Structure 1
Amino acid sequence: MDVAGTGALFLLCVLFIFFFSTFKMYRKQRELPPGPAPWPFLGNLFQKDVLPLYNSYLKLVKKYGPVFTVWMGPKPTVVLCGYEVVKDALLGHAEEFGGRPDIPLKIPGTSGFGNSDEKKWRELRRFTLSTLRDFGMGKRRMSDRVQEEALCLVEEIAARQGQPFDPRSIITSAVSNVICSVVFGSRFDYRDKVFLEQIPRVTDRIAFFRSFLGVVYFAFPKIMNYLPGRHKNIIAEGQKMYTFIRERVKSHMESLDPQNPRDFIDCFLIKSEKDQSHNEVIFSHEDVAMTVLGLFVAGTGTTSQALLYSLLAMAKFPHIQAKVQQEIAEVVGTHRPPSMEDRMKMPFTNAVVHEIQRYEKSSAETFPRAMTRDTEFRGHTIPKGTSVIPLFTSLHFDPLRWETPEEFNPGHFLDEKGEFTKRDAFMPFSAGKRSCPGEALAKMELFLFFSTLLQNFTFQMNGEAKEKELLSLNVDLLIKNTYPPIQAIKRPL
């Protein structure tokens, strides 16, 4: 066949795929909750009045109700908005909304927490939670580790001597060291070259999958893998990060003492060896690396970004920062670092930490859940396998649940007496069976790192960033992965 014939055949194949995919889209559209009309094949991807959802959901809810469908390319995704709807789905229908679609992360396989095998996921989660608790998750032992790391971070920031600097690397390294001490059995020096190579790989990866290009990649992974672009670099760097984990797993295998497990990897390897005698192997050696990789990325990226965001918030609202520092001085003083026992005596500081998480808008479009069976929900039928996004921004900015949702207001978490109060519509770690397994550790880290930093420093911003809205700085950090220079002025002790 000549070149012209080959080109014509290729064009026919493309047209066939396009029309077949479009036909399936419009046929399936009738089975789903209503939503904005999708373009053929592309869905709602390039419709600015639809994506990103955290910007457009209010208009969509007003037009279609709190349960609506958007199309990520030819794939439908049902979006859940508002506290009552999200609570009903994740807690009232936990099993039905408890699946996970295949996520094309392109790191060797689909093992670990990222796979959609329900039985395997349950076993891995149960084992991980149990083992993390054995190594002090949520206990005094873990609190001591975080305190020690926080003091190392204070020393590192103090070395900047009040000069403007980008804190992303050292903040992320400090947070990462906490989970590293659990999974690897040791922390890393902030100047360790191999360790420092992993930090941007984590943050760039998270930022990519929250970006528009990340959404496009999730919609068309097979097509995107043939095209050049940033996603190629993200995949390549992800492979290097996986190699970093595999090398440590291999080292653990060579020095493993089944009678004296040192860390999470040892415990997993011991469990894996026992599992080899069963007909159905769940804890394979690949699962060790993939599960550790999941813990490393989650334990490094999300908490560090919340902590970085907290410094921007304090620099943006110096009167709130001063009030936090006053409470720390009254409760803790200057001769010891804050502890978890202090949290109940520091309601304002605790409220500020919670408000930082509430106010942090982010895109969750690339990490949906999936329906495990056909389900009737709120007057709609949602077919098995359909991707679902519980939009937590819609909870955290719901005017029916918060007095001043568009304002940064720690008073949302304080009662009339100034005591800390919980809010039902606060779900930064999700809820139900797919809630974050590291929630207890993340809460501990956020409070201890934040209070220790505020005990020692006053944070300031200069230049253009000082004039930016906090939500705009939030988007810059989470999506664009940029951070303005910040000053840490040492406080007198």
Structure 2
Amino acid sequence: MGIWVLLTTGLVALLILDFLRQLWTHRHYPPGPISLPIIGGIWRAASRLSEDTLIKVEKQYGNICCVWVGHLPVIGVSGFQAVKEVLINHAEAFSERPLSPFLKAIGRERGIILSNGHTWKQQRRFSLVTLRKLGLGKKGMEHQIKEEAQQLVETFARAKGQPLDPSLSITNAVSNVICAVTFGHRFSLEDEKFQKLVGAIDVASKFQDSIVFLLYEMFPWIMKHLPGTHKKVFSAFELVLSFAREEIEKHKEQQSFHEPQDFIDFYLLQIEKSRNDPNSTYDEENLVHCIHDFFIAGTETTSTSLRWSLLLLTNHPDIQDKVYKEIEDVFGSSCSICYQDIKKLPYTNAVIHEMQRSKYNLLFGGPRQCTKDVKVNGYLIPKGAFIVSDLRSVLLDPERWETPVGFNPNHFLDKDGNFVAREEFLPFGAGARVCLAEQLARIEIFILLTSLLRAFRFQLPEGVEKLSPDPIVGFTFHPHPYKICAVPRCC
């Protein structure tokens, strides 16, 4: 009995000594919740995940705080000034993507989003150049988006003004834009393989069980052998990769890459050109993961933004009518609208920006990793620390926005009604890892939304007073399922 008391006392003493050692070693780190043995301080952030979880933690500990996940320091950065200091002023030091167990398992350090160093720089640069060659920012790519907009209008029209759920139709349209860019063709909405792809993207993008995610990050050697939502997520990611591999094989069989028409063609041609380059990272596995990144990053965020847009415009019919009136006053009913025309529509532009600001659809920006010890605002951020930029706090910063939690297009208008760009508008991130497809997303949202608004007036179904503005909280913030009536406008 005495031995057990002695052992217990010794263990407690060691834990206390380890705790005191950590306090001393980390005394220059940003403040944060007490770090408990094994789990660290994650209990404070994960005990009750809500829309403002990060904001509450940051209010208590400051705009730069530290939450320990096991023995890993995760630095939370909130508010415009702190985010600007980290992501823009120290862009190089925070340009790496963390290789946590979960992110490493799905990304395998390939492609664009989850790679680092030479691989990341080469894949990102090539993708940017190729998107421009394929017509990004020109009428060629806009034509493909307009085709999807017309399909979307026809799908909505079939409901004949009766209540409809727009979610799947919007996701199909956005996914088909990416299919056209990467594969060179769109899919029929009835195509079974295409619907499996859309379903897999949806599962992969909605890994909302934060507890399971955190458990995998802390105990991957255990979790990989246990059932759970993480298994479904891995299967979904693998399905997207398999879909990409099949399309690549078709392109190789057709030998179409000598006259490239899509992203796969250009990439296969680059593989051939770089065959003797020892520094080349161009290979089929990186191509597969680049395609995977386009779908995972490009489909969910854009389609969710459009779903929030229709919800907000239905809840605010006065704003919807004002947007429609501006479009009709400028263009009438017969002209086709191009993305460049957004300059002629300041109110419409302001409404689109405000929808993305007020309903930012991610819990936080893409995580970064510190490449060296950095001093920020007097705190030491150690090499290897994970950085979580709370872009939501920037977009809702009460020091920068007049009515931060409201839906107010005037945030982006001056007193004369002219559109005003705001440096605090960072829904696509900032710094070295700013969203690769930001311009594509902007064009899609503008063309798809204006096409729908010119064709329909969106109304609440009979007996419904208001659509819920509250999100389903996870790592992505989706609106609750809803139905609206797309009432055709008189021609």
Q: TM-score, structure 2 length as denominator?
A: 0.89
Indicate how the Cα distance of structure 1 residues 36 and 108 shifts in structure 2: closer, same or farther if over 3 A, else same.
closer
CA shift, 1:190, in A, is 1.5
1:416 aligns with 2:415: yes
Residues 57-105 of structure 1: CA deviation (Å, up to 9, x unaligned): 4443343221101133443210111111111211111101111111524
CA shift, 1:459, in A, is 1.8
- 2:61 corresponds in structure 1 to 64
Indicate how the Cα distance of structure 1 residues 222 and 243 shifts in structure 2: closer, same or farther if over 3 A, else same.
same
How do 1:47-446 and structure 2 match up within 5 A? 47=44, 52=49, 55-103=52-100, 104-105=102-103, 106-107=105-106, 109-208=108-207, 211=210, 213-365=212-364, 367-446=366-445
Q: Is the 8 A contact 1:181 1:187 kept in 2?
A: yes
Moved more, 434-443 or 99-108: 99-108
Report the 3-state secondary structure (helix = DSSP H, G, I; strand = E; otherwise coil) of the residue aligned with 1:175: helix
Q: Is the 8 A contact 2:45 2:57 kept in 1?
A: no
Moved more, 110-119 or 74-83: 110-119
Residues 121-177 of structure 1: CA deviation (Å, up to 9, x unaligned): 001100100010000111222222212221111011111112222221110111111
Indicate how the Cα distance of structure 1 residues 379 and 173 shifts in structure 2: closer, same or farther if over 3 A, else same.
same
User: Take 2:397 and 2:258, find their aligned partners in 1: how far apart are those partners?
Assistant: 52
Indicate how the Cα distance of structure 1 residues 339 and 216 shifts in structure 2: closer, same or farther if over 3 A, else same.
farther
Indicate how the Cα distance of structure 1 residues 148 and 422 shifts in structure 2: closer, same or farther if over 3 A, else same.
same
The code of the aligned residue for 1:38 comes to: S
CA shift, 1:469, in A, is 4.4
Residues 249-277 of structure 1: CA deviation (Å, up to 9, x unaligned): 11111222443112111111111123231
User: Take 2:475 and 2:219, find their aligned partners in 1: how far apart are those partners?
Assistant: 26
The code of the aligned residue for 1:159 comes to: R
Q: Is the 8 A contact 1:54 1:394 kept in 2?
A: no
CA shift, 1:377, in A, is 1.2
Report the 3-state secondary structure (helix = DSSP H, G, I; strand = E; otherwise coil) of the residue aligned with 2:67: strand
Q: Is the 8 A contact 2:50 2:473 kept in 1?
A: no
Report the 3-state secondary structure (helix = DSSP H, G, I; strand = E; otherwise coil) of the residue aligned with 1:112: coil
Residues 364-385 of structure 1: CA deviation (Å, up to 9, x unaligned): 4584101111111110111111
1:487 aligns with 2:485: yes
Indicate how the Cα distance of structure 1 residues 215 and 479 shifts in structure 2: closer, same or farther if over 3 A, else same.
farther
CA shift, 1:357, in A, is 0.6
User: Take 1:456 and 1:217, find their aligned partners in 2: how far apart are those partners?
Assistant: 47
User: Take 1:240 and 1:31, find their aligned partners in 2: how far apart are those partners?
Assistant: 45
Indicate how the Cα distance of structure 1 residues 114 and 442 shifts in structure 2: closer, same or farther if over 3 A, else same.
closer
User: Take 2:446 and 2:176, find their aligned partners in 1: how far apart are those partners?
Assistant: 16
User: Take 2:289 and 2:321, find their aligned partners in 1: how far apart are those partners?
Assistant: 43
Q: TM-score, structure 1 length as denominator?
A: 0.89
Indicate how the Cα distance of structure 1 residues 140 and 468 shifts in structure 2: closer, same or farther if over 3 A, else same.
closer
Q: Is the 8 A contact 1:371 1:388 kept in 2?
A: yes
CA shift, 1:474, in A, is 6.0
User: Take 2:167 and 2:221, find their aligned partners in 1: how far apart are those partners?
Assistant: 33
User: Take 2:216 and 2:365, find their aligned partners in 1: how far apart are those partners?
Assistant: 9
Indicate how the Cα distance of structure 1 residues 319 and 148 shifts in structure 2: closer, same or farther if over 3 A, else same.
same
User: Take 1:361 and 1:287, find their aligned partners in 2: how far apart are those partners?
Assistant: 30
User: Take 2:27 and 2:219, find their aligned partners in 1: how far apart are those partners?
Assistant: 23
User: Take 1:202 and 1:336, find their aligned partners in 2: how far apart are those partners?
Assistant: 35
Structure 1 unaligned segments of length 5 or more: list them: 1-14
Q: Is the 8 A contact 2:304 2:361 kept in 1?
A: no
Indicate how the Cα distance of structure 1 residues 216 and 412 shifts in structure 2: closer, same or farther if over 3 A, else same.
farther
Residues 197-226 of structure 1: CA deviation (Å, up to 9, x unaligned): 111211221121585544544444333222
Structure 2 unaligned segments of length 5 or more: list them: 1-10
Q: Is the 8 A contact 2:309 2:355 kept in 1?
A: yes
Residues 424-461 of structure 1: CA deviation (Å, up to 9, x unaligned): 10001111110001011111111111111111112233
- 1:457 corresponds in structure 2 to 456
User: Take 1:376 and 1:108, find their aligned partners in 2: how far apart are those partners?
Assistant: 30
User: Take 2:311 and 2:195, find their aligned partners in 1: how far apart are those partners?
Assistant: 23
Residues 210-248 of structure 1: CA deviation (Å, up to 9, x unaligned): 855445444443332222111111111221221111101
Report the 3-state secondary structure (helix = DSSP H, G, I; strand = E; otherwise coil) of the residue aligned with 2:174: helix
Q: Is the 8 A contact 1:215 1:366 kept in 2?
A: no
Matched length: 475
Q: Is the 8 A contact 1:343 1:350 kept in 2?
A: yes
Q: Is the 8 A contact 1:175 1:303 kept in 2?
A: yes
RMSD: 2.7
- 1:4 corresponds in structure 2 to none
Residues 339-392 of structure 1: CA deviation (Å, up to 9, x unaligned): 223211111111110001101144445841011111111101111111001111
Q: Is the 8 A contact 2:182 2:291 kept in 1?
A: yes
The code of the aligned residue for 1:76 comes to: P
The code of the aligned residue for 1:86 comes to: V
